[in-house]
Each structure stands twice: as structure tokens, then as C-alpha cells.
């Protein structure tokens, strides 16, 4: 075996995977035995002159022994599944060449494999939940595979890839390496050592004590509670149910009057909550919960009145949706029970104020009107029940779906459709072919009124596990150009022809596979007694990489058999002509078929043929094509756009046209101001990712195309402005983004989103820069509207509408701030000025 001859080198058993690594180990073993040239070049027969000298016999015997030794090493280093392929070879070179030809592949196979590895290398990124060691191992393994297939990767390229693909927490050490070292000459291992040292430093800083973790608390029926912990704290605490606060009291009950016990200096005064000796100065004085100071109540507090005035200004100037009362004590506990008469209305409970003692006084709402005159709202619980019952959650996996009868029926329908198309056959599990897994995808389709239309379950193959050259060869499938679709529509309009549309149900299930592909039995539909068997696919499943190509090949073959001629310049355009009858033109776009022609008889015949051959839906006359699917927000809150994101370059001219149009649209749509200004930063050399973000903004506009700004009459003429900043929102230069908005009674009329010119060192500094820019605009507005002094007031974060101009937001937050801006659907705006 590999370890014979006194050598400690031993090769791992080759099972068909990682051939390049196995080949390197075997080559080292052959060189250690001095027989690599024999394996590589084969057995060399001595010349005839040597035979005459009588030395050829001994040399030949020695060569044959070495060759047999090499052949034995190869046979002992392969698994039982691989051994039959080389069992008939009598020389080491023959066995070596067979393995090399099959698993190393020819030039074309290696090129396909290398192309896939290059794609993986470019798109590889460190995940947020991934440790540094695991990511470096994964990246270097990918690099070694590329080198094994002949790729020339320099040290500089590997180092660059490593530095730009790490998570944000490694930016400081990456910046130091880039500024102090030459990326082209630095060793990869040196960079890895620096990164590991920095990671260990981060881990040390992240360590925290566990003393606070081992504590417990119990609350009895009267509201008192006891606490125990692993520390030495011996104090007892009392739960105050009115104001929901914890007050520490010394364990010694004899100690009264707000004095801490002599034995426990950690006790705090129950009045001022501070450590001191002697009687408390604030004993007997009321405490304000607006400013946390003693000597006055909330209604007399200047700070509380100032904050309350600001809240009232925001509520009067901007439209805020009705919400639950702050003091509502009723909760929805059982969605199946009907609300009784007592539950029909929810009112806001009176406010409670804590005095200096444990007794709480209820104040009249009129005395608090100076800082909170928000009208109290009534809300019917029947509406809440209806909304809660429509809260639909789609199952994440089979285990969740199988509990619902509707999803079980949907999965059964999907399996019946697959079997009806003769998509697969149950066979024994092959030993030399990889098995592709399958999974269930669940989707609920709704009607326009929000009711459930149907439960859709789709069986999808895990195509990401397929390997090029093994599970698939070609994946290219032509798609109709939009110019072709528009030309067909224009031709039909010019000729007066009707355009019809058909939709193929489960189009990819009709594509016949050329490759030999096996998939696991799906969850919930495993054949009893044949659990170890798998399905061999005759036709494609959704998720397979070759599924689009298989469907195109199927429809192309069928149309050719029906007498259609494919256009030489457009692979998805087909024409059929009958002399004396007319012409029929058909265009294929994935699973949509658009056709027109001069003969109604030919179109009816074509429709009948297609619906007889495939499961199809007749969509009737063509009203719209390639409808844009709308989205709820312009940008994804978690995505960060960068100049260098690893994706391919996009059409610069088209990208500039889109962004230019979006910037023009911001004149009446403040809700896309940040999105348009962010995209405008990438006008030079935009990438596919930037282009995708621009298209998402267009999809958002498609869903809110009727949204406009509402300017309502009768509101108070009060100029209100908001400003905010997103500190270090740009990950490339760490600059912040400022945003401001001004309203005059109702909807906003002045807004902006601007990237700051300098790098700020804190959030406070970023807020000052934003406030300075907003103040400059406010001074101009003040001079234009009225001569008054500008007053800066603190605004709570949830009421800060300028937040929409500084960063991408989640859907709920974005919808709320959009309403605050006064941007609403035109269908709800009646009797108001529209823009």
C-alpha cells in the first residue's frame, strides 16, 4: 500500500470527490518511492543494444516490479466503487490515465468547472454569523480548487478578495493593512495572522461577566417579590403596581424615614433614590415625572409643557392614524370568541401621577390639557377581531404545513400534476450518481379584497447542489426581447389584428431532460416499502438549472412539428403561413404565449392545439404584458449599496436615464427622495446591483402610482420643520446623510436628502451638521413666509419624519412616515389640492 517500503506517507481513499487534492497526495507518494516518472510516462522497454549486453533482463524485472508497486498503490487508494474502472489495467500508467481522464475531465469540462468556481469566488462573502476561521477555510478551499483546474491566482488577488469580503467589524484592520502594506507583495498567511489577532482582540472585548445571568425573581399574588442572585446582595424589594417601578428597601424593617441601614451602605433613599446619611431633604415634597425634579407637579412643569406642545404640533400639522389608547387594559385573547358589550369600546384611562408617598392621586384630564390635548379615540373590537383573523402566515417547512388540511390538499394536487405529466419514475438508488434534494415551497394567493384565493404548494429541486458537467451541461435558454414583443403589438395594431395570450401551467414540468438526474422522494409522499429508492426524472422540475432550457427545447420541437418556422433573427418568434388562408405569428416569453394573425380560423386552431398538448390558461385578448410586480418600499432596509460590490457592470446610459427620471419625480414624491439621491451617487460605472435597486424603486412607484401630496384647507398656518441624520451611513467613506422636511399646516412642501461633505466623529456632530443645513433652509422660509424667531425643540424619534430622508426603512416605519409627509393615495384625497 501507500505506506509500504518504510514510508510513513499514506494516501486517503478516493471516492470520486476532490480528485485534484487526491492527485497531489498521490504524486508526492510516488515521488517518495522514486516511481513517479514510471506512472507519468509509462513502462520504457530497454533498447536492443542493451539486450545484447545481457543487462536488459534485470532492468526489465526491476521496472516491472516498480510498475506493479505503483499499480498496487493506486488500487489500494481508491474505494470499492471506483476500483472496477481500473481493475483490468495491468500498468500503473493505464490506471492513472483512466482516473485522470474521468475525474480531471477534458478541456471543455474543466473550462465549465472553472467558470463555476470563478463565479463562486467573485460572489463569496463572509456571512454575519460566520466565524473568521470558517470563512478563511472556505475561501482558501475555493482558491485551491481553482488552482487545481489551472487558474492563475496571484497573491495580490487573493489578499484583495479576502480584505473586501470580510464583514464590517474587520474594517479597521483591513484599512491598516491596505494603507501600510503593498497588497501585491504581502503574503496571504501574514494577512490571515493579522486578521486572527484582531479577531481574538474582539473576542476579548466581547467577554462579559456571568454574575448577573444567574438571578431569579418571584412575585406573589399581592404584588410583592423576592429576588435572589449569585452575588452578595441581601436587599429586599417591593413591587409597586401603579407606576410599575422598583423601590429598594433595606432588609431591616426598623430602618425607616428614608435612611439607609448602617450595615448595608448599598441601600438607596426611597425618595431621591440616592445614597446619603441623615434625613432626606426631599422628604414630603412632590416629584415631577416630566423632568424628574422635586417641588412641583407635571402640570406646572415647563419642560413637560414644552415637549407636550411639540407633540401637539406634530399631531395637528400631520395626519396620524388612530391607534389603541395608551391605558387600554383589554386584550384580544381568543380570536374565536365574540366580544361582549363591555368589550365593544376601548377608552383611554385617566393618567396617574405619583406623589411623594405611596398613595396615587388621579388628576382630571382638563388639568393636563396644557401639554396633551390629543383627542381620545374610540375603536370597535369587532374591527380588530376581523383584522387579526386575516393575519396569514405561510409555513416555512413541511412539518408546519402538514398540520393544516388546506396545505395537505395543495401538496397532493402538486404531486398529482407531476405524475400526470410522467415527470419521474421510481428506481433504485444509483451508486455513482449524485442525488439532488427537493423541498416544498408554500405560497398563499389572495383576491383583491384580501380573501384567500388558493393555497399553492410547489415542489422545487435544490438546484444549487448540482455540479456542472455531471448533473447538467447547458443552461442557456433564449428569452424574447422586449423589442420583439412591442413590434408584435405594433404590427397587430397597424394591421387591425387581435392579439391573444395563453399561459402555460407548470411550464417547466413539460421539459424533457437529456441528462440523467435523480431526486429524493418528497416529504410526506415517500412510498412505503421503497424508502431507499429515488426518482429518476424524465422531465424537469422547478429549481433545476437546466429546467428553462428543457422547456424551450420542448416547445421549440412541438411548434416545428406543427409547421411553424422559427425566425432566423429571433429564437422565440415563430411564423406559420397557409396559402389562401392567412398568417399566424407566435412569440414565446417563458410560460406566456402571445399570438396574432390575419386569420381567426388559424388562431382558433392554434389555441385548440396548444390546450390539447399542454395544461394552459386562456387569458383572452392581450390587455397588458409583463406587468410590473409592485413592492412596498423603495429600498430594502438591510441592503447597503457600494461602488465595488462584486457584480458585473450595468448599462451606464440606461441607468442614468432611470435615475434622472427618478430625480425629476422627487419634485412631487418626497417618499422616494432618499432612494433617488442614493442611486445618484453611482452614476459613474454602475453595477448590476445598483441597476437592480433602481428597478426596485420603479416597482415601488408602480404600486403607488396614484399617491400624491395632500394639502388640506382649514389647518393652522404653522411652519414646522424636521431634521435628522444617519451617522456613517456610507460604508465606503463613513460620511453621514442629512435630511429635512418642512410643512405648513398639512403636507410637506420643502424637503431634501443630502450626503454630508465631511466625516463626523459622533452622532451628535452628525445631528449638528444636519440641523445647520435645515436651519439655513428654515431662515430662507421664515423670510419668505413670516418674520418670526426660529425655535428649536426636541422631537421624539418615533415622530421624526425626516428619518425617511436619511436611510432605507422597514415597511411599517416607512408607511407611517409616508402618511406623516401627507403622501396618500389619490382615491382618498377629495376636495384637496393634488400634486
Is there a single domain that holds both residue 692 and residue 575? no
Number of helices followed by number of strands (H, E) in the chain? 22, 23
Which residues touch 542 (CB under 8 Å, ≥6 apart)?
458, 459, 460, 461, 506, 508, 509
Average confidence (pLDDT) over 720-744: 84
Is there a single domain that holds both residue 594 and residue 683? no
pTM: 0.35
**225, 260, 294 — which closes off a domain?**
294
**621, 637, 661 — which closes off a domain?**
621
Altogether, the residues listed in the chain come to a count of 835
Per the CB < 8 A criterion, the answer to whether 805 and 634 are in contact is no
Residue 505 lies inside a defined structural domain of this protein: yes
Average confidence (pLDDT) over 402-431: 87
Which residues touch 393 (CB under 8 Å, ≥6 apart)?
none
The reported pLDDT for the residue numbered 351 is: 38
For residues 596 and 221, the model is more confident at 596
Per the CB < 8 A criterion, the answer to whether 578 and 541 are in contact is no
Residue 368 lies inside a defined structural domain of this protein: no
* 125-139, 350-364, 546-560, 733-747: segment of lowest average pLDDT: 350-364
Q: Check pLDDT > 80 for residue 790.
A: no
The reported pLDDT for the residue numbered 18 is: 74
The reported pLDDT for the residue numbered 113 is: 74
Using one digit for the tens of pLDDT, what is the confidence trace for 40-77?
888 776 655 544 555 667 888 888 888 888 888 888 88
CA dihedral (632, 638, 641, 645) positive or negative: negative
Is there a single domain that holds both residue 740 and residue 601? no
The reported pLDDT for the residue numbered 335 is: 38
Q: Check pLDDT > 50 for residue 302.
A: yes
- Beta bridge pairs of residue 575: 565, 585
Distance CA 821, CA 819 (A): 5
Average confidence (pLDDT) over 286-310: 63
Q: Check pLDDT > 70 for residue 121.
A: yes
* 16-20, 288-292, 509-513: segment of lowest average pLDDT: 288-292
Highest mean pLDDT among 638-642, 645-649, 735-739, 800-804: 735-739
Average per-residue pLDDT for the chain? 73
The residue ranges of DSSP E strands in 462-557, in sequence order, are 500-504, 518-519, 534-537
Q: Which three cell numbers stand for residue 727?
A: 451617522
Is there a single domain that holds both residue 682 and residue 794? yes
Distance CA 497, CA 20 (A): 61
Nearest C-alpha neighbor of 166 from the set 215, 130, 137? 130
Average confidence (pLDDT) over 278-282: 66
CA–CA distances in Å: residue 312 to residues 322, 799, 800: 15, 11, 14
Q: Check pLDDT > 60 for residue 685.
A: yes
Beta strands 748-755 and 823-825, pairing class: unpaired
Nearest C-alpha neighbor of 83 from the set 94, 95, 75? 75
Using one digit for the tens of pLDDT, what is the confidence trace for 452-506?
778 888 888 887 777 776 556 666 667 777 667 777 877 787 788 888 888 887 6
> If you ran DSSP here, which 8-state letter would residue 271 be given?
T
Looking at the chain, the whole-number percentage of residues with pLDDT higher than 70 is 68
Nearest C-alpha neighbor of 309 from the set 789, 744, 775, 795? 795
Residue ranges making up the domain that contains 149: 108-201
State the chain's maximal CA–CA distance in angstroms: 126
Residue 428 lies inside a defined structural domain of this protein: yes
Highest mean pLDDT among 368-382, 788-802, 816-830: 816-830
Distance CA 524, CA 527 (A): 9
Q: Which three cell numbers stand for residue 469?
A: 458537467
| DSSP letters for 439-460 | EEEEEEEE-TTS-EEEEEEEEE
Is there a single domain that holds both residue 66 and residue 134? no
Please state, as a whole number, how many other Cβ atoms lie within 10 Å of the Cβ of residue 480.
19
Distance CA 254, CA 277 (A): 16
Is there a single domain that holds both residue 130 and residue 88? no
Is there a single domain that holds both residue 674 and residue 613? no
Q: Check pLDDT > 50 for residue 2.
A: no
Is there a single domain that holds both residue 721 and residue 800? yes
Distance CA 236, CA 221 (A): 17
Q: Check pLDDT > 80 for residue 136.
A: yes
Q: Is 244 helix (H, G, I), strand (E, B) or coil?
A: coil
C-alpha 29, offset from chain centre: 47
Q: Check pLDDT > 60 for residue 572.
A: yes
Burial of 484 (0-12, 13-18, 19+ CB in 10 A): buried
* 417-421, 576-580, 825-829: segment of lowest average pLDDT: 825-829
Query: What is the band of 9 on the pLDDT scale with cuts at 50, 70, 90?
Result: low
Distance CA 670, CA 823 (A): 8
Residue 452 lies inside a defined structural domain of this protein: no
Is there a single domain that holds both residue 499 and residue 587? yes
Average confidence (pLDDT) over 597-603: 89
The reported pLDDT for the residue numbered 356 is: 37
Q: Check pLDDT > 50 for residue 682.
A: yes
Residue 735 lies inside a defined structural domain of this protein: yes
Using one digit for the tens of pLDDT, what is the confidence trace for 225-239?
444 444 444 344 444
> If you ran DSSP here, which 8-state letter would residue 30 be given?
H
Is there a single domain that holds both residue 482 and residue 599? yes
Q: Is 257 helix (H, G, I), strand (E, B) or coil?
A: coil
Is there a single domain that holds both residue 719 and residue 797? yes
Q: What is the 3-state secondary structure (H, E, C) of 775-815?
A: HHHHHHHHHHHCCCCCCCCCCCHHHCHHHHHCCCCCHHHHH
C-alpha Rg value of the chain to the nearest Å = 37
The reported pLDDT for the residue numbered 5 is: 44
The reported pLDDT for the residue numbered 658 is: 92
Which residues touch 237 (CB under 8 Å, ≥6 apart)?
225, 226, 227, 246, 247, 248, 249
Q: How many domains does the chain have?
A: 5
Quick one: residue 181, left, alpha or beta (phi over 0 = left, psi -120 to 50 = alpha)? Answer: beta
Residue 628 lies inside a defined structural domain of this protein: no
Using one digit for the tens of pLDDT, what is the confidence trace for 245-273?
344 344 443 444 444 444 444 456 766 76
Which residues touch 302 (CB under 8 Å, ≥6 apart)?
none
Q: Is 685 helix (H, G, I), strand (E, B) or coil?
A: coil
Which residues touch 76 (CB under 8 Å, ≥6 apart)?
1, 2
Q: Check pLDDT > 60 for residue 542.
A: yes
The reported pLDDT for the residue numbered 649 is: 87
The reported pLDDT for the residue numbered 166 is: 92
Using one digit for the tens of pLDDT, what is the confidence trace for 161-211?
899 899 988 888 888 888 888 888 889 888 998 898 888 888 776 654 444
Average confidence (pLDDT) over 287-298: 70
**201, 233, 253 — which closes off a domain?**
201
Distance CA 276, CA 809 (A): 47
Residue 810 lies inside a defined structural domain of this protein: yes
Q: Check pLDDT > 60 for residue 688.
A: yes
Please state, as a whole number, how many other Cβ atoms lie within 10 Å of the Cβ of residue 679.
25
Buried b / exposed e along 9-37 (16+ C-beta atoms within 10 A): bebeebebeebeebbebbeebbeebebbe
Is there a single domain that holds both residue 597 and residue 698? no
Residue 393 lies inside a defined structural domain of this protein: no
For residues 543 and 526, the model is more confident at 526
Which residues touch 395 (CB under 8 Å, ≥6 apart)?
401, 404, 407, 442
Amino acid at each position: 500500500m501507500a505506506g509500504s517500503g518504510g514510508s510513513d506517507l499514506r494516501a486517503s481513499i478516493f471516492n470520486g470527490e476532490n480528485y485534484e487534492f487526491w492527485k497531489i497526495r498521490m504524486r508526492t507518494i510516488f515521488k517518495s518511492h522514486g516511481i513517479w516518472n514510471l506512472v507519468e510516462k509509462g513502462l520504457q522497454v530497454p533498447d536492443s543494444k542493451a539486450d545484447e549486453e545481457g543487462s536488459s533482463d534485470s532492468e526489465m524485472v526491476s521496472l516491472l516490479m516498480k510498475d506493479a508497486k505503483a499499480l498496487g498503490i493506486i488500487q489500494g487508494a481508491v474505494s470499492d466503487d471506483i476500483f472496477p474502472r481500473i481493475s483490468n489495467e495491468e500498468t500503473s500508467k493505464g490506471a492513472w490515465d483512466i482516473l485522470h481522464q474521468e475525474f480531471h475531465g477534458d478541456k471543455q469540462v474543466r473550462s465549465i468547472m472553472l467558470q463555476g468556481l470563478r463565479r463562486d469566488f467573485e460572489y463569496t462573502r463572509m456571512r454575519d454569523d460566520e466565524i473568521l476561521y470558517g470563512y478563511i477555510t472556505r475561501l482558501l478551499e475555493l482558491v485551491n480548487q481553482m488552482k487545481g483546474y489551472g487558474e492563475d491566482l496571484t497573491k495580490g488577488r487573493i489578499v484583495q478578495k479576502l480584505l473586501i469580503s470580510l464583514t464590517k467589524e474587520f474594517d479597521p484592520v483591513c484599512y491598516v493593512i491596505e494603507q501600510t502594506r503593498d497588497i501585491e507583495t504581502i503574503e496571504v498567511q501574514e494577512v490571515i495572522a493579522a486578521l486572527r489577532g484582531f479577531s481574538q482582540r474582539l473576542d476579548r472585548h466581547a467577554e462579559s461577566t456571568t454574575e448577573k445571568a444567574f438571578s431569579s425573581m418571584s412575585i406573589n399574588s399581592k404584588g410583592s417579590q423576592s429576588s435572589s442572585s449569585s452575588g452578595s446582595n441581601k436587599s429586599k424589594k417591593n413591587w409597586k403596581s401603579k407606576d410599575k417601578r422598583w423601590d429598594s428597601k433595606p432588609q431591616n424593617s426598623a430602618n425607616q424615614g428614608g435612611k439607609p441601614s448602617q450595615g448595608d451602605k448599598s441601600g438607596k433613599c426611597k425618595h431621591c433614590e440616592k445614597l446619603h446619611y441623615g434625613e432626606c431633604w426631599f422628604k414630603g415634597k412632590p416629584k415631577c415625572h416630566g423632568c424628574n425634579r422635586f417641588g412641583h407637579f407635571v402640570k406646572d412643569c415647563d419642560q413637560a409643557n414644552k415637549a407636550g406642545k411639540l407633540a401637539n404640533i406634530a399631531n395637528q400639522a400631520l395626519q396620524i392614524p388612530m391607534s389603541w389608547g395608551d391605558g387600554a387594559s383589554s386584550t384580544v385573547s381568543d380570536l374565536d370568541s365574540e366580544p361582549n358589550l363591555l368589550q365593544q369600546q376601548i377608552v383611554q384611562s385617566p393618567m396617574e401621577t405619583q406623589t411623594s408617598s405611596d398613595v396615587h392621586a388621579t388628576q382630571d384630564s382638563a388639568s393636563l390639557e396644557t401639554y396633551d390635548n390629543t383627542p381620545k379615540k374610540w375603536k370597535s373590537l369587532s374591527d380588530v377581531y376581523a383584522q387579526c383573523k386575516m393575519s396569514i402566515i405561510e409555513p416555512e417547512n413541511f412539518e408546519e404545513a402538514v398540520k393544516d388540511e388546506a396545505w395537505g390538499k395543495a401538496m397532493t394536487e402538486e404531486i398529482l400534476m407531476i405524475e400526470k405529466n410522467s415527470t419521474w419514475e421510481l428506481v433504485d438508488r444509483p451508486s455513482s450518481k449524485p442525488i439532488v434534494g427537493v423541498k416544498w415551497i408554500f405560497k398563499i394567493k389572495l383576491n383583491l379584497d384580501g380573501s384567500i384565493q388558493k393555497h399553492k404548494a410547489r415542489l422545487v429541486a435544490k438546484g444549487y447542489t448540482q455540479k456542472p458537467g455531471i448533473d447538467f451541461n447547458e443552461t442557456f435558454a433564449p428569452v424574447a426581447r422586449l423589442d420583439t414583443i412591442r413590434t408584435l403589438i405594433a404590427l397587430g395594431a397597424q394591421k387591425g389584428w387581435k392579439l391573444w395570450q395563453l399561459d402555460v401551467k407548470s411550464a417547466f414540468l413539460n421539459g424533457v431532460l437529456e441528462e440523467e438526474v435523480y431526486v429524493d422522494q418528497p416529504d410526506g409522499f415517500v412510498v412505503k416499502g421503497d424508502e431507499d429508492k429515488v426518482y429518476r426524472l424524465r422531465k424537469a422540475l422547478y429549481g433545476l438549472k437546466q429546467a428553462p432550457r428543457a422547456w424551450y427545447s420542448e416547445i421549440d420541437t412541438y411548434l416545428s412539428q406543427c409547421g411553424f418556422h422559427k425566425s432566423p433573427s429571433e429564437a422565440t418568434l415563430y411564423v406559420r403561413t397557409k396559402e389562401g388562408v392567412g398568417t399566424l405569428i407566435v412569440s414565446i416569453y417563458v410560460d406566456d404565449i402571445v399570438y396574432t394573425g390575419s386569420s381567426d380560423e388559424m388562431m382558433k386552431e392554434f389555441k385548440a392545439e396548444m390546450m390539447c398538448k399542454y395544461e394552459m390558461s386562456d387569458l383572452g385578448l392581450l390587455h397588458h404584458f409583463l406587468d410590473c410586480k409592485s413592492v412596498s418600499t423603495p429600498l430594502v432596509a438591510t441592503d447597503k449599496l457600494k461602488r465595488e460590490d462584486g457584480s458585473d457592470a450595468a448599462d451606464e446610459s440606461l441607468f442614468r436615464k432611470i435615475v434622472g427620471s427618478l430625480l425629476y419625480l422627487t419634485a412631487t414624491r418626497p417618499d422616494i427622495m432618499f432612494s433617488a439621491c442614493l442611486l445618484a451617487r453611482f452614476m459613474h460605472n454602475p453595477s448590476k446591483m445598483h441597476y437592480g435597486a433602481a428597478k426596485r424603486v420603479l416597482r415601488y412607484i408602480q404600486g403607488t402610482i396614484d399617491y400624491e401630496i395632500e394639502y388640506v384647507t382649514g389647518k393652522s398656518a404653522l411652519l414646522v420643520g424636521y431634521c435628522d441624520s444617519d451617522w456613517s451611513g456610507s460604508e465606503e467613506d463613513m460620511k453621514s446623510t442629512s435630511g429635512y422636511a418642512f410643512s405648513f399646516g398639512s403636507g410637506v412642501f420643502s424637503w431634501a436628502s443630502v450626503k454630508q461633505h465631511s466625516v463626523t466623529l459622533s452622532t451628535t456632530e452628525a445631528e449638528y451638521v444636519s440641523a445647520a443645513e435645515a436651519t439655513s433652509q428654515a431662515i430662507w422660509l421664515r423670510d419668505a413666509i413670516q418674520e418670526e424667531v426660529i425655535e428649536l425643540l426636541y422631537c421624539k424619534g418615533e415622530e421624526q419624519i425626516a428619518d425617511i430622508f436619511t436611510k432605507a426603512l422597514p415597511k411599517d416605519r416607512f408607511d407611517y412616515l409616508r402618511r406623516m409627509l401627507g403622501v396618500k393615495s389619490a382615491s382618498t384625497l377629495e376636495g384637496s389640492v393634488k400634486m
